């Protein structure tokens, strides 16, 4: 019995003439995600993709789990392929669905007939297949309102497909179709969620992390790598740049008024990140800021960190509560890593009374003793790159 994974494309079906570019990107991404599971063939038709394994021992369950991480997919299911002959469909359904049917009490059948030449109409298909299943599994009952399982028979161009249930896809747009941006990644809860949220809109990602050894430990850096590898399950390989930040923080500590430490540090981060991002053809920065969460995320504070940067800064979590952010971090499996207690460079040199209503003029004055250009240059030149899969 031939089985495939049937994929329903998400939002990209709305893309008009551009649709093909988006579909091609999705095909490429599916191949990349499933490469480790063996050879596959992918066919496109009618807002759908058919993923056909070419090996006998294809690990369907592992592959299905992975398909759930691919952006651009609205829904997906494992199903069996049958010739478009109604007797064959009736004969195959109870055999293919046996295990599922034995484990449930109620079901309903839905039919989708995109091949309008097929001799039976959808209600007839439902009635006949439903009858056959009831006959084969006498313990079952039909419940059209609240069934334990929905059985679907789809009659499409080249074949018929039988399946039990359907899984929700990751949604969004295929990674890469929106270009590339750089996520400022800390070891916290927020930035990995911000990264995932923007990858979902089709961005591929580079990452930038500011490290301040010996104030921050190698374990903090490992934590960032682990978080990125979890995000990379969704968006593919991420190029990570680790910026040496110790000297800059020390200079800020020596030369600037204490209540501005965090703000000036964040302004330096944005300047350095922008320079690195441009070098790597990223068109925007992404941060995990959320309005009002901490002193450096009040509106005046965000305003003075934004003003030093001349590229778009995406802050996808800006309007989210911590609870909402945590629920996404649990879903994408970054939460447990994020709460490991390793210090971030932001927690070094934290002012006792941070300025919460800074103005641009005050910040410019507070950082006037720094040779900003030289510090940015030094940080950019000292950045070390590696790839996270
Ligand atoms: P997170 O949970 O992402 O660490 P946070 O609530 O701790 O965020 P901040 O420490 O103020 O907030 O950082 C705000 C944003 O600045 C982070 O979401 C991240 O995008 C960026 N950021 C903070 N620290 C670093 C760092 N060491 N390297 C790179 N980016 C950082
Ligand atoms: Mg943080």
Tell me which of 119, 136, 171 is where a domain ends. Answer: 171
Task: Output the 3-class SS for 216-227.
Answer: CCHHHHHHHHHH
Same domain for 185 and 106, yes or no, is no
pLDDT score for 346: 66
Same domain for 210 and 126, yes or no, is no
Same domain for 233 and 154, yes or no, is no
- What is the chain's Cα-based Rg? 26
Same domain for 226 and 375, yes or no, is yes
Residues 221 and 211 sit within 8 Å (Cβ to Cβ):
yes
Cα distance between residue 285 and residue 312, in whole Å: 6
Same domain for 149 and 249, yes or no, is no
Residue 325 Cα, ligand 2 centroid: separation in angstroms? 14
Tell me which of 126, 146, 171 is where a domain ends. Answer: 171
Same domain for 184 and 310, yes or no, is yes
Same domain for 194 and 306, yes or no, is yes
Same domain for 186 and 314, yes or no, is yes
Residues 243 and 361 sit within 8 Å (Cβ to Cβ):
no
Same domain for 300 and 240, yes or no, is yes
Task: Verify whether ligand 1 is closer than 6 Å to residue 212 (CB atom).
Answer: no
**Structural domain boundaries enclosing 253:** 180-388
Task: Verify whether ligand 1 is closer than 6 Å to residue 189 (CB atom).
Answer: yes
pLDDT score for 158: 87
Residue 307 Cα, ligand 2 centroid: separation in angstroms? 21
Same domain for 229 and 100, yes or no, is no
Which token pair is 51?
A: 């993923």
Residue nearest to atom 31 of ligand 1 (CA): 186
Task: Verify whether ligand 1 is closer than 6 Å to residue 209 (CB atom).
Answer: yes
Q: How far is CA 216 from the centre of its chain?
A: 28
CATH number of the structural domain spanning residue 375? 3.40.50.620
pTM: 0.93
Over the chain (389 residues), the average pLDDT of each successive run of 10 is 94 79 94 95 90 95 97 97 96 97 97 93 96 97 96 94 96 96 96 98 98 92 97 97 96 95 96 98 97 88 95 98 97 96 74 89 97 98 97
Number of domains in the chain: 2
167 burial type by CB count under 10 A (0-12 exposed, 13-18 middle, 19+ buried): middle
Cα distance between residue 140 and residue 135, in whole Å: 9
Q: Which ligand is nearest to the CA of 265?
A: 1
């Amino acid at each position: 019995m031939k089985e495939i994974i049937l994929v329903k494309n998400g939002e990209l079906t709305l893309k008009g003439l551009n649709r093909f570019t988006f579909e091609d990107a999705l095909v490429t991404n599916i191949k990349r995600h499933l490469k480790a599971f063996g050879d596959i063939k992918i066919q496109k038709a009618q807002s759908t993709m058919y993923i056909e394994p070419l090996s006998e021992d294809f690990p369907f369950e592992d592959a299905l789990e992975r398909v759930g991480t691919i952006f651009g997919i609205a829904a997906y299911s494992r199903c069996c392929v049958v010739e478009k002959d109604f007797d064959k469909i009736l004969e195959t359904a109870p055999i293919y669905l046996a295990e599922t049917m034995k484990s449930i009490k109620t079901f309903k059948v839905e039919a989708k007939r995109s091949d309008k030449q097929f001799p039976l109409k959808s209600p007839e298909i439902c009635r006949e297949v439903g009858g056959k299943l009831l006959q084969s599994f006498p313990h079952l009952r039909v419940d059209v309102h609240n069934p334990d399982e929905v059985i679907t028979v789809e009659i499409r161009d080249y074949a018929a497909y039988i399946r039990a249930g359907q899984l929700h896809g990751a949604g969004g747009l295929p990674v890469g179709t929106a270009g590339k941006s750089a996520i400022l990644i800390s070891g916290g809860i927020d930035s990995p969620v911000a990264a995932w949220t923007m990858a979902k809109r089709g961005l591929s990602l580079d990452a930038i992390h500011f490290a301040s050894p010996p104030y921050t430990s190698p374990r903090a850096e490992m934590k960032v790598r682990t978080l990125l590898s979890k995000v990379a399950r969704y968006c593919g390989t991420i190029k990570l740049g680790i910026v040496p930040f110790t000297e800059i923080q020390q200079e800020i500590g020596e030369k600037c008024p204490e209540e501005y430490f965090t703000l000036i540090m964040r302004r330096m981060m944005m300047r350095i990140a922008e320079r690195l991002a441009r070098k790597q053809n990223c068109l925007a920065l992404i941060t995990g800021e959320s309005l009002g969460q901490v002193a450096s995320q009040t509106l005046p504070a965000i305003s003075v960190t934004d003003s030093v940067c001349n590229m778009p800064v995406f802050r996808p979590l800006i309007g989210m509560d911590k609870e909402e952010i945590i629920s996404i971090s649990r879903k994408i499996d970054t939460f447990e890593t994020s709460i490991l207690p390793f210090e971030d460079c932001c927690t070094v040199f934290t002012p006792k009374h941070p300025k919460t209503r800074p103005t641009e003029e005050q910040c410019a004055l507070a950082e006037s003793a720094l040779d900003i250009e030289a510090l940015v240059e030094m940080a950019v030149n000292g950045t070390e790159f590696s790839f996270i899969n």
